Amino acid sequence: MSCSARYAPQLRARGFRMTPQRLAILHVLCHEGTHLSPLNVFKKAVQELPGLTEPTVYRTLEFLTENGLVRSSHDRSGHLTYEIAAADHHHIVCRLCKAELEVEHSLLAPLYQTLEAASGFTNIESHVTFFGVCPQCQNQ
């Protein structure tokens, strides 16, 4: 399924249209399948859509994030990155070697339920990165 076919209906349901800029950015994020910095998104998307500007990429990433199609998080150095919003997951990053492990959201589901019960908030969303020392670094 193409990015347009997958995401255009979601945008239309919210009253928006699929612009060439949105499509190029979604295409990059869909096909890269990893977290990308805004600059990396720009470098890849401008190849698909010449004339695309870096400020447009930043605005579009923010728009796509606000509308639930893209998720933002911070990488191990604290810089903002983006990925396509798919299955909820989190990360554990080694403080020493920077190795990264993906953590399924289901492991944190009880925490989210507790937060919702205690705060009264619902539909809490986040992308959490934990930091620790990996088993390899512990053994050195």
Q: Note the pLDDT of residue 84.
A: 84
User: What is the dotted CATH code of the domain comprising 89-138?
Assistant: 3.30.1490.190
Considering the domain delimited by 3-84, tell me its CATH architecture.
Answer: Orthogonal Bundle (1.10)
The overall average pLDDT reported for the chain is 87
- Of 51 and 85, which is predicted with more confidence? 51
Q: Could you give the CA distance from residue 113 to residue 81 in angstroms, rounded to a whole number?
A: 27
More confident residue, 4 or 94: 94
Ordered by start, the domain boundaries in the chain are: 3-84, 89-138
- Tokens, residue 134: 């990996």
What mean pLDDT is predicted for residues 125-133?
Answer: 81
* pTM (global) more than 0.75: no
- Determine the pLDDT at residue 126: 72
- pLDDT score, position 137: 94
Banded pLDDT at 87 (limits 50, 70, 90): low
Residue 50 has pLDDT above 90, yes or no: yes
| pLDDT of 1 over the 60 cut | no
Q: Which pLDDT score, from 0 to 100, does residue 88 have?
A: 72
Alpha helices in 14-108, H assignment, sequence order: 20-32, 38-48, 54-66
